[in-house]
Structure 1
């Protein structure tokens, strides 16, 4: 196990640990149905409450014999009925516009950036909020129309949708504001600089950030006493419910070591846990402890951000695109991510119970794996693009100054391989000297 262990205590404020329901929360964020469905339910609840309030207002006026007030309310309701009808039809047009813009943005991102970045648009909060409010406004307007009473006698009237009409107009105003914010946010996400920045920010949320604690004593787990295999469907290991695994291991007095890394593809029968110190927990105790899906997520995957940035750079360096400036922008963030973890222990996470006893060991990429992920493929495609070569050399030099001595080897290896590739492929000495000159802007 290289580079030591990252030690973390559940609930320790120094180490960011997933919340109890974080896997479920993350999975819901990867869907487009949950927020609109919740919005529709909320709209129904709001309409029922507003309709009841309108009914009580009319009933109170009837009890007081204040029929002039009821007539005034009826006149106001008739005036607003046309507006509510217009709102109902207009919101469907707005919903179609939002859906069309989203499809165009997703198609462009998949074709020009990388298919892996499409999930950024799926997880976009402003898109979900806008669609949710639009659908809720449409449903609320339709339900408000059903509240208009055709009775003209104030004594027999049961409801005047005054509060409902006011709320419908307020929701329209909110929808217009959200539409402006949605267009602005979508246009930003169609620019590669903001996509790369978003990937980097998501990556920093995954990284475990705490000051290096020096050497960590390797607690002896002892020999493996059992193995637990995957019995579900094949797919990518998306995340592990750490709190539930720790709780199951504590109840059985064992330590569970996760074998695949987050992001690995697992098939039925693949060993996922080794048990140390006793008998394996039952299947029911470990139910829903890990999630398998069709694609990787940011939730617990330390290398997924680097994977996306490398994909963007590779597509930018392809002959069909030939956009080295975008590759340089991706390299900027790759270097930033690597610099942020250069001094931290890597290799595995140890999760403890409330008493401080290690109950789960989770593998994470070590320093060499992260450096190779960030540079290996881009280095192979960078030859012939002096802008990218110069930026990569400058980035490697910066990381060599930041990384501890024991982590210099993979950086030096990539630097030497890049220099050798330039020597082999660039015939002119002046061009070689120009390409091998480090520059943080590539060619500023």
Structure 2
């Protein structure tokens, strides 16, 4: 087996962290945060009950019956508030989140169904839902602590601390409701959704290993390993486990499907390269090395951000919506992402072991793939919209000025195809206008 060192990566190489299946499951579900909040509020209520009982015992030991009477008066004044909260909070929760579901449905129809994951994984949404349910649960528990009227000397507990805790939770609920409404309204605006997608995509780029890869490192193929799990989208690869498995057998592994590919049982997953003495890693060593789910994620998926931006642009260019300004907004971000990628090594990525020897090769989209993903579909749908064709032409000009010589061909190809399409579909009197570069489309 030919041995290659990861010297071109330098000491700055950072191996991508594996995605935690449990953490991803909890982030994609709505039950965990409210359940944890209700358990926590039960513990807080128990502690507050003990504090109330201890406070009454302390006052009775010192025969401060006047103070006990004052506490009872204060608590009785608060009781109607607690009762109102308990009766109104659940109705409030139902109305608020019914409206939220309508907002999510509208956003998925206007943008793309892929943006629903932004709402589902929103921390402020889960926190608000959890605090609302916790406040409702606490109000019910506090109501059970109120005693019927009795003489101060016979009182065993006064839910003073519990009532104060309830008022605090009500205030927190109101504050989170304001923050939640503001966050939801922001996520319904296309500019903020596109900015959110772009930000996540840029974070993926920052985590991607840098450095060119020498294909000469890959030796002859001596075997293949098939996928044996449930069918689904390849979401994440545990780089560290695969590197250890390859080092243990003295081979090099190559991941055949890309992140985002749909795999079924039997799909070739890994090719094994090395000398005749090398062996395929045991099945046990390859357990939990790949994570498969029902939809793509941003964690290691370089192209997922561009895919979402293109989906939003295509939906905006459809006859049902006819919103070329949104398509231009998406093209602004697409050009931004390609500008970041223009001078970065793309294609196959080699992951070294602790000694710097490449043990795992992972194929990622190259420059031509990303350019085609970014412009091909939008170009086809944008022929009849001069606002969009002008923005695409301006994007090509900007990228051609930035991209190195060896990466100009895919851009020139897409530009030539756009010119041909406009020439065939647009009247001659309007062609020059439709192909004039303009960063604002029609500014």
Pairwise same-fold verdict (TM > 0.5): yes
Residue number in structure 1 paired with 2:3: none
Residue number in structure 2 paired with 1:222: 219
Residue number in structure 1 paired with 2:170: 172
8 Å CA contact 1:236, 1:296 repeated in 2:
yes
Q: In 2 relative to 1, CA 271–322 (structure 1 residues): closer, same or farther, beyond 3 Å?
A: same
Q: Which moved more, 1:218-227 or 1:394-403?
A: 218-227
Residue number in structure 1 paired with 2:82: 84
Residue number in structure 2 paired with 1:256: 253
CA-CA distance at 1:223 after TM superposition: 3.0
CA-CA distance at 1:76 after TM superposition: 2.1
SS in structure 1 of the partner of residue 235 of structure 2: strand
SS in structure 1 of the partner of residue 328 of structure 2: helix
SS in structure 1 of the partner of residue 286 of structure 2: coil
Map residues 3-402 of structure 1 onto 2, 5 A cutoff: 15=14, 17-18=16-17, 22-150=20-148, 152-154=150-152, 156-208=154-206, 213=211, 216-218=213-215, 220-277=217-274, 278-402=278-402
8 Å CA contact 1:6, 1:345 repeated in 2:
no
Please report the RMSD computed on the Cα atoms of aligned residues, expressed in angstroms: 2.6
8 Å CA contact 1:8, 1:352 repeated in 2:
no
8 Å CA contact 1:351, 1:361 repeated in 2:
yes
State the number of aligned residues: 435
Residue number in structure 1 paired with 2:438: 439
2: distance between equivalents of 1:226 and 1:155? 85
2: distance between equivalents of 1:29 and 1:6? 37
CA-CA distance at 1:210 after TM superposition: 7.9
Q: In 2 relative to 1, CA 125–249 (structure 1 residues): closer, same or farther, beyond 3 Å?
A: same
8 Å CA contact 1:212, 1:343 repeated in 2:
no
SS in structure 1 of the partner of residue 224 of structure 2: strand
CA-CA distance at 1:8 after TM superposition: 6.5
User: What are structure 2's unaligned runs of at least 5 residues?
Assistant: 1-5
Q: In 2 relative to 1, CA 51–315 (structure 1 residues): closer, same or farther, beyond 3 Å?
A: same
8 Å CA contact 2:16, 2:209 repeated in 1:
no
Q: Which moved more, 1:147-156 or 1:268-277?
A: 147-156
State the TM-score, normalizing by the size of structure 2. 0.90
1:24-45 Cα shifts (integer Å, max 9, x gaps)? 4334222222222222222222
2: distance between equivalents of 1:414 and 1:182? 42
Residue number in structure 2 paired with 1:413: 413
8 Å CA contact 1:328, 1:391 repeated in 2:
yes
2: distance between equivalents of 1:337 and 1:196? 12
8 Å CA contact 1:110, 1:116 repeated in 2:
yes
SS in structure 1 of the partner of residue 302 of structure 2: coil
Q: In 2 relative to 1, CA 211–103 (structure 1 residues): closer, same or farther, beyond 3 Å?
A: closer
2: distance between equivalents of 1:211 and 1:274? 21
8 Å CA contact 1:7, 1:349 repeated in 2:
no
SS in structure 2 of the partner of residue 362 of structure 1: strand
